[in-house]
Structure 1
Amino acid sequence: MPGLIERTARSRLKKTARGLTVSGVLWLSGASFANASTLTLDQALQTAFAGNPELAAAQWDIGIAAGDRQQAGLIPNPEVSWEAEDTRRESRTTTVVLSQPIELGGKRSARIDVASHAQDAAGIELERQRNTLRADVIQAYTGAQTAQQRLQLARESLALAEQGLRVAQGRIDAGKSSPVEGMRAQVQLSEVRLELSRAERDQANAYQQLAQVLGAPLPTSVNVQPATQSLPAVPPSTWLLERLNETAELRLARLQIEQREASLGLEKAQRIPDLTVSVGSQYSELDRERVNVVGLSMPIPLFNRNQGNVLAAARRTDQARDLRNATELRLRTEIRTSLAQWQTANGEATAFSQSILPAAQSAVDSATRGFEMGKFAFLDVLDAQRTLIAARSQYIQAVAEATEARVRIERIFGDLSVSP
């Protein structure tokens, strides 16, 4: 009976180890998503664009800016006044006057210019927030994919550890192995169970983060689509840097300079006082006579010539220029850093998939066959399994780092699906 148990366990151990490899690349087998609904990246993006509350709030800025632009173009309202001199009815004089302020110095056109720039800035800001949301969705989605892969890897590792313990126990019962091998197998199983618990917690957290970005709860039966084997190619740095001026952030920074310059023009226009024209009628009860009243009024810019606001607006314009330069420097640095990380991570992932993972899988197969024939100790099987699991984990980490770098680039440029 122990020999039958041992042969069955060896066969299962061998099949489980080989089940980790598909087409020369280590991929996860086991649980299938065929019976559960699958969330694709396109579906996640559509859900986020339709339901993310932060993006929905940002879209109202377009209407707010349109209202400000409409208000900026309105002229001042006229004013009507009524006066009575002498409270006695027989000698009272009443005056009715209609006054209309007239803006001088181009104040209205300057206000329109400022509001128009703010309206354009609202559109670019919405575009920037859409790019940010898209990057956040991709990052959260790939984070859920990574957590899902780590969980499945932990389950495969648990299956390997359980089968290994059965094989070791079978050899111990048959008197072919030392009880020490059983203790080693038990320790390995305990470690894998702890890793499985961490993987389950990490996947739950990743799904919660994805639901937060999407702005909608995810049903418990929904899984993200498994990651594909192919990695996106790294775009040339020269192509990206040539497109730098087209990014939403730099366009917004340039527009802020223009907006500050328009505000400076408005403050300069405020130095010129407005003229108020008045026309009216005056009636005297004593003289029984009505006369027309015409008047002009204008403040005298003796002390307040708006010089403080002009100075502040000029300094804000200088500040906007420096901020634009700082934004360009930051973006250039971030692009170069992200591209270097992307390139390195892609190289690591390729090395793992093409050479390291197949070699680790071959080592597991060889150790399993040797253990079945009594040529290797169970410790050799454990070492081969740990190497295989560690290589798989490093491969997943390399893919995650490549995705993180790509997300940082797309946060700046938006969708990079259009290749150079």
Structure 2
Amino acid sequence: MSSNTPRSTVGLSKLSSIVLACALLLTRQVYAVPADLTLDQALQQAEQNNPNLAAAGWSIAVAQGERIQAGLIPNPELSFEVEDTRSDTRTSTVQLTQPIEVGGKRGARIRLAERGSDAAALELERSRNELRSEVILAFYGQLRARMRVDLAEESLRLTERGTTIAEGRVKAGKVSPIELTRAQVQMAEVQLELNRSRKELASANARLQVVLGGDLDTSLLPVGDATLLPATPDKSILLKALDSSADMRLARLGVDQQEASFELEKTLRIPDISVSIGSQYSAEDRERVNVVGLSMPLPLFNRNQGNVLAAARRADQARDQRNATELRLQGTLQETLDQWDAAASEIESFKTTILPSAQKAVDSTVRGFEMGKFGFIDVLDAQRTLIQGRLQYLLALEAATQSWSQLERIYGDIAVIARSRQ
């Protein structure tokens, strides 16, 4: 008995360890810890999982198929014809007809298909830039949402402190009970703001998961600081780089596509030739003869003139659209940089002057109220100023982030643009 007891104990110990390990694994699955996520990781994950970008990638394969099809020559036609159904006198003909394209139709089709392949590649690049912009917005949106929760919790602690002081002063008979009511109203407003900020954080997490192509039930923890944004780029550098942006290259390629389509329509004015070769057998004469033929349609009425005219006008339209795209991008660039400059100035003012002064005012009025130098209305005004200042600070951060993401949408990684132009 004594020799078996240790083995049983060891066996139970191993079994309990396995059960405990399984329980820990299940616990980790049910109560998943939010995964740390940097911006670079978020961008990489989005490129791998985002369905919109994956759909855009298939356009290249589609364009490759169209390029292959454009280079194919027409199939030959095999025909069999019988004249007179009587077996003694009938004549049967077997013939092979090969259409021959003339006028450069095949080359024109290939050039148009190649322009389509180039457009598909540019569309993919533009989709990647748009996804990059969306990831930045969603990533920094969650950082700001978390920051908003933290500030709301800090504001709640601030108002709770003021309410506690007001309760003490009311109990001591030094202030009117209405002061306590005011404090409680402000605390209730801050509590509402805290609830809104927590809901916004949940929504921000969902938006980020949608962009990343992940599970909406999974919690993410972006690593970063919502207040640390890139410096405002140099306008002259961005203006020089505007011509090489995906939108401008796609607009220029649109002109090339329509011009290639115009050239193709012009080649279709020239009729193709069909060459036939075959054998004819006459049952009555018991003789077989060779048959050779050449045919082509006569362009008397349909010379493809309508399609040529339409293609020419579409080329003119594409040129105007290219010019409109350039003007639109220039206007967007100017507006975005102005918005970014204004937001950056506001952020600097909030960080260096407004928020520190508002915090100092709150501390001074609270101390003064405790000593009976100020009324509680002064405390409430100081707290409200600080709370509103924090909310305005978040709005300025949001405006700056939107400007940044807008430039990323146009150029891609603007840090690379800045380095390449130096």
Give me the TM-score of the superposition, normalised by structure 2: 0.88
CA contact (8 A) 2:205 2:220 kept: no
By how many angstroms is 1:292 displaced?
0.6
- Conserved? CA contact 1:357–1:388, under 8 Å: yes
Partner of residue 404, structure 2: 406
Paired residue secondary structure (1:195): helix
Of 88, 91, 97, the residue aligned with 1:90 is: 88
CA distance in 2 between partners of 1:170 and 1:36 (Å): 42
For residues 348 and 209 of structure 1, what CA distance do their matches in structure 2 show?
27
1:112 paired with 2:135, answer no
Residue 71 of structure 1 deviates from its aligned partner by 0.3
Where 2:98 maps in the other structure, the secondary structure is: strand
Alpha-carbon shift at residue 410 of structure 1 (Å): 1.4
Which residue in 1 is equivalent to 2:360?
362
Match of 1:322 in 2: 320
What is the TM-score with the length of structure 1 in the denominator?
A: 0.88
Equivalent of 2:206 in 202, 205, 208: 208
1:91-142: per-residue Cα shift (whole Å, max 9, x none)? 2211111110000000000000100000101000110111011111111222
Aligned counterparts, 1:8-407, within 5 A? 36-407=34-405
Matches of 1:80 and 1:275, distance apart in 2:
16
Question: What CA deviation, in whole Å up to 9, does each residue of 1:61-86 have, x standing for no partner?
Answer: 00000000000000001111111112
Distance in 2 separating the partners of 1:315 and 1:86: 53
* Matched-pair contact (CA < 8 Å) for 2:93–2:281: yes
Deviation string, structure 1 residues 316-361 (Cα, Å, up to 9, x no partner): 0000000000000000011001101101110110111112221112
| Stretch deviating more after TM superposition (128-137 or 171-180) | 171-180
**Cα distance in 2, alignment partners of residues 304 and 215 from structure 1:** 52
What CA RMSD, in Å, does the superposition of the two structures yield over aligned residues? Answer: 1.5
Q: Match of 1:90, SS?
A: coil
Q: Which deviates more from structure 2 when the two are superposed, residues 270-279 or residues 188-197?
A: 188-197
Structure of greater relative contact order (alpha carbons < 8 Å, 6+ residues apart): 1
> Which is worse superposed, 228-237 or 119-128?
228-237
1:281-323 per-residue CA deviation (whole Å, 9 max, x = no partner) reads 1111221111111000000000000000000000000000000
Q: Please say if residues 231 and 346 of structure 1, whose CA atoms lie closer than 8 Å, have aligned partners that are also in contact.
A: no
Dislocated runs of 4+, deviation >4 Å = none
- The residue type equivalent to 1:244 in the other structure is L
Q: CA deviation at 1:150?
A: 1.6
What does residue 18 of structure 2 align with? none
Letter in 1 for 2:188: S
The residue type paired with residue 246 of structure 1 is S
Output the CA distance in 2 between the equivalents of 1:326 and 1:339: 20
| Contact 1:140–1:213, Cα closer than 8 Å, also in 2 | yes
User: Distance in 2 between the 1:259 and 1:148 partners?
Assistant: 48
Q: How many residues align?
A: 386
The offset of 1:199, in angstroms, is 1.7
AA partner of residue 161 (structure 1): T
- State how far apart, in whole Å, the 1-side matches of 2:107 and 2:46 are: 39
Q: How far, CA to CA, are the matches of 2:347 and 2:155 in structure 1?
A: 21
Unaligned runs of 5+ in 2: 1-32
Contact kept in structure 2, 1:279 and 1:292, CA below 8 Å: yes
Q: Match for 1:394: what amino acid?
A: Q
Secondary structure at the aligned position of 2:415 is classed as coil
- Secondary structure, in 3 states, of the residue corresponding to 1:243? helix
Tell which deviates more after alignment, 266-275 or 189-198.
Answer: 189-198
Structure 1, unaligned runs of 5 or more = 1-34
CA distance in 2, matches of 1:284, 1:387: 108
Contact kept? 1:145, 1:226, Cα under 8 Å: yes
Question: How far apart, CA to CA, are the structure 1 residues paired with 2:362 and 2:169?
Answer: 19
